[in-house]
Amino acid sequence: MSPTDVKTLGDLNNIGKLVLHFWAEWSEPCKHMDTVFQQLATEFSSKGVQFKRVEAEGLDDVTSLFEVSSVPTFVFLRDGKLVDKLEGADVPLLTQKTTGFASSIDPSPPIHGNGTQASSTPPGSTPDVSGRIKFILTSNPIVLFMKGTADAPRCGFSAQVLEALNKIEASVHCVDILMDDALRQGVKAYSDWPTYPQLFVKGELVGGCDIINEMSTTGALQQFLIDKIGPAYRKAAAKVAESKEELIARIKRLTESDAVMLFMKGSPEAPKCGFSRKVVDALRGVEAKFGSFDILSDEAVRTGLKEYSSWPTYPQLYVKGELVGGCDIILEMQSSGELKKLMEDKLGPNFNHASLAPVSTAMAAVYTPATTAVVSEASLPNETKEQLMSRIKGLVEAQPVMLFMKGDPEAPKCGFSRKVADALKVNEIPFGSFDILSDEAIRTGLKEYSSWPTYPQLYVKGELLGGCDIILEMQAAGQLKLSVDEMLGK
């Protein structure tokens, strides 16, 4: 029997012995090992072992669940529980492990004092279902287990909870428990809650229909989400549809927004796939300063960049707007010393000291209701006061709305910066940001440039709007968005 392809996490349910092959289309070793994998499937399928293939970069949830960070990787599961794992193209070892796995005897559960066997999992749940539930809850801040979908609820209680969440524009991940009976029973056991719908926030059960309706009526639901998640609990503002030409132009600007740009899943501090993590580590290994863009935050860029680059997978690394390659190429270049040499050839010997993007377009972090790009900017060596003021002017004009703060919008390093960033997010005002803690010259020079002694400082079209007190006062009066829009000429 030939291996089958895994399409969703649900394809791994209710299988005794299972071997998974995590592969990628671009990997030559995967192609060779796939032939071996098919031969093993033919030989051992009759012994009760199932063989399945997982496209590592196409099923992020499955890849992350088993912490796969390279291809080929082989995972051995018994009743949904990890038994063994093999990384790399080792034919003899794969054959040995598969032979042993196929001939192994299922271990008996522990024995109760009365002689009956104990179950290793809670009633109504199985190891694979429990793992899926945990993954869903850790991957999404707000999760609603419901009957039906967000567009078509199939019970009145689910519809009521959705209405309460939509009323406050909460961004919620809905899971239809009617489509998966194992999940339906498993969630009840996991939460110890007997009915649906069930709302979870940050992995914790909030309650069912009655509780959510009561919280909605009193206004406690919105405040609860703000306290738990912050302004990011809200849905991203709808984007105006962009033409293909506009998308390509936007992608081109992104690839050139810093001298070294990495398009990845997640951020350098929190990669969301092993391949992205390895490239980040490789760049840090040669001390390269680089910008990054989370392609999971923008589906248009994620899809369009593949066409733009004629490269089918992520991550993708660009130097001075030109594609260098993906994970395998970067790791090979790092191991041979070519990565550092490429940086020196393209950017000069100081490639690891300063961004070479034009100062007038340099930016730190750009927040919009839908996307976040992070681009680093380092101080220039031996810069004169005139050069510093020119660089500051370029930064304050880098985006229509620019916030100079301590830290970044997702991880502020002072309460005043957090309050201003939250005020902008709540009002859905797209803004760029610069971490003044990352550059002492900017931190000192901007005070002189603006004649404003403290941080944060908010600029609109290059003009200082004010600091924390002014921004919060404008927000409380309902004037913040109006003032910004007026300055932007909207």
Q: How far apart are the first and last CA of the chain?
A: 63
Distances in whole angstroms, Cα of residue 252 to Cα of each of 240, 297, 311, 375, 477: 19, 17, 15, 15, 40
Q: What is the pLDDT along the chain (490 residues), one digit of tens a residue?
A: 789 999 887 788 778 899 999 998 878 889 989 999 999 999 898 888 999 999 987 777 788 778 787 889 999 998 878 889 998 888 889 998 999 898 876 554 443 433 444 444 444 445 467 777 887 887 778 999 999 988 889 999 999 999 999 999 898 989 989 888 888 899 999 998 999 999 999 989 999 999 999 999 988 999 899 888 887 787 654 445 678 888 899 899 889 888 899 999 888 887 878 889 899 999 999 988 888 888 887 878 888 999 999 888 889 999 999 999 988 899 989 999 999 999 888 887 766 643 333 222 233 344 444 333 343 444 445 678 888 898 888 888 888 899 999 888 888 888 889 899 989 988 889 988 888 888 888 999 999 999 888 899 999 999 999 998 899 989 888 889 999 988 988 7
**Cα–Cα distance, 373 to 398 (Å, whole number):** 13
Instruction: For residue 125, count other CB atoms closer than 10 A to its CB.
Output: 19
Show the tokens assigned to 237. Answer: 């503002």
Q: What is the token pair recorded at 279?
A: 């490239």
Q: Which of 8, 77, 24, 69 lies closest to 49, judged by CA?
A: 77
Q: What is the pTM of this model?
A: 0.42
Pairing of strands 49-55, 260-264: unpaired
Decide: 459 and 364 in contact? Cβ < 8 Å.
no
CB atoms within 10 A of CB 204: 10
In angstroms, the CA 383 to CA 440 distance is: 13
Going along the chain from its start, the domains and CATH numbers come out as 4-103 (3.40.30.10), 127-233 (3.40.30.10), 244-488 (3.40.30.10)
Pick from 124, 193, 198: nearest CA to 161: 198
Q: Which letter, b or e, does each residue of 371-385 get, where b requires 16 or more Cβ atoms within 10 Å of its Cβ?
A: bbbbbbbebbeeeee
Distance (Å, whole) CA 420 – CA 429? 11
What count of other Cβ atoms lies within 10 Å of the Cβ of residue 155?
Answer: 14
Report pLDDT for 210. 92
